[in-house]
Amino acid sequence: MAVKRDTKNQILDIAEALLQERGFHAFSYQHIASKLGVKNAAIHYHYPSKNDLAVALVARYRRRFSRWSENLAKENAAPWPCFESYIETCRYLIESNKICVLGMMAAEFNTMAEEVQREIQLLQDEVVSYFSDLLKRGQEQGEFSFLGDAAHKALVLTCQLQGAMQFAQVKGSGVYNVVVDQLRAELKPQA
Amino acid sequence: MAVKRDTKNQILDIAEALLQERGFHAFSYQHIASKLGVKNAAIHYHYPSKNDLAVALVARYRRRFSRWSENLAKENAAPWPCFESYIETCRYLIESNKICVLGMMAAEFNTMAEEVQREIQLLQDEVVSYFSDLLKRGQEQGEFSFLGDAAHKALVLTCQLQGAMQFAQVKGSGVYNVVVDQLRAELKPQA
DNA sequence: GTGACTTTACTTACTAAATGGTAAGTCGTC
DNA sequence: GACGACTTACCATTTAGTAAGTAAAGTCAC
């Protein structure tokens, strides 16, 4: 029974990995099909056009991020562990030669259909507002210290991490460690 | 006489614009050819393979950045104007629906040939070390204030700006203004 | 300077492979 | 026997890339 609906998700798994490693225009239905051990047309059966694939991919990524951040909220996790949790998730991506879906889609934004663009915008909003909430909470609890508005700082933070993941592809994961160390130092109170 | 050697450069101009707007795998020789009003094979005459094009493109971009930063150094420009000059250059890119060559190539890094990857690495080194020098100089003159090593802060700054350009594509140039304002505030002494 | 050549900057006319996509058929399960 | 999940067998288009030809400009012996 798990085998049935799974193909549709497995396609997204493979497509997501390919997107994060290579970018949307650098993989094809053939790549997915051969990795899944299935024929080209099977992919089209589940996602008629590559556009449909893109929409589903970003939408699922967005839902996953939603659930992830909601779980952290329910656990009432402290600000620093929340921060470190995100950092670790990104580190895992880097070590698999991947970057964030958001970062890749932002770079390729102009080439995506409107429907996909809207999904990307929603994803960006969610990631930034996750950090916005986290920063606000951390500031109130005296755990974080930063200049200006939490929403603005959240945007900067998101840009920074996206950039760090991309630069880590270019020069290795050491880049990521440097950036994250600097981030931590700057967020710590009494600096 | 300017017409002669110019085609080779015009190809790079068009390819660079397409790269910055769409990414390396989302434009073809046909796109360049039709924009230049020339046939497909003419592009192959100057750049036999797309790989050659990529190498030449990044190398030229790198040379241009070198000259740009050397000129600023010769003028002995003050730290803040140097900083603002870079900010303005990026703003111009955003307004033409483009992102930095470095940011795009970083996102697509895994799909590029080794030769191109080396050029991208060199470009990244140059950009980061430009900021590293600038930050150091600014700090010594009491114009900038930041935590930790200038080289580390430079890396962070570069990530931030690359990310900001990409996010500006997604949600408009307002994003860029917010990020840049925050960056300015954080760099100002006596915060 | 003229004729003979080479070189440069292309065009025309291809090719093989890959791309996204479709229509019709198969096959096991409810 | 209807439906879901495919496969087989296509298709038009686009892709990077090549080979051969051409027109104009440059080079150079004489």
pLDDT of residue A73: 87
pLDDT of residue B133: 96
pLDDT tens string B84-101: 999 999 999 999 999 999
What letter would DSSP give residue A62?
H
Average pLDDT on B160-165 reads: 98
Give the span between the Cα atoms of A187 and B181, in whole angstroms: 18
Superfamily of domain B57-187: Tetracycline Repressor, domain 2 (1.10.357.10)
Cβ–Cβ < 8 Å for A166, A155: no
pLDDT at B142 exceeding the cut of 80: yes
pLDDT at B22 exceeding the cut of 70: yes
pLDDT at A115 exceeding the cut of 80: yes
* Residue among A54, A17, A23, A51 nearest B103 (CA): A23
CA B65 to C1' D16 (Å) is: 30
Superfamily of domain A2-187: Tetracycline Repressor, domain 2 (1.10.357.10)
pLDDT of residue B98: 98
- Chain B hits for A170, Cβ within 8 Å: 105-106, 109, 117, 120-121, 124
B3 pLDDT band, cuts 50/70/90, is very low
B window 147-176, beta carbon within 8 A of A: 147-148, 152-153, 155-156, 158-164, 166-167, 169-171, 175
CA B72 to C1' C17 (Å) is: 48
User: Is the dihedral angle over the CA atoms A171, A174, A176, A178 positive or is it negative?
Assistant: negative
pLDDT tens string A54-103: 999 999 999 999 999 999 988 889 999 999 999 999 999 999 999 999 99
B4 pLDDT band, cuts 50/70/90, is low
Q: Do residue A110 and residue B152 have CB atoms under 8 angstroms apart? A: no
Give the span between the Cα atoms of A111 and B108, in whole angstroms: 14
CA distance B163 to chain A (A): 4
Placement of tokens 């508005």 in the chain = A149
pLDDT tens string A10-57: 999 999 999 999 999 999 999 999 999 999 999 999 999 999 999 999
pLDDT of residue A2: 42
Give burial (CB, 10 Å; 0-12/13-18/19+) of A97: middle
* Residue among B155, B176, B157 nearest B165 (CA): B176
* Single-letter amino acid, residue A1: M
A175 pLDDT band, cuts 50/70/90, is very high
Q: Which nucleotides of D are covered by protein (CB under 7 A)?
A: 4-10, 14-20
Q: Do residue A179 and residue B156 have CB atoms under 8 angstroms apart? A: yes
pLDDT tens string B24-52: 999 999 999 999 999 999 999 999 999 99
Average pLDDT on A127-147 reads: 96
Closest residue of chain B to A171, computed from CA coordinates: B121
Rounded to the nearest integer, the mean pLDDT of chain A is 95
Q: Does B183 lie at the interface with A, CB-CB under 8 angstroms?
A: yes
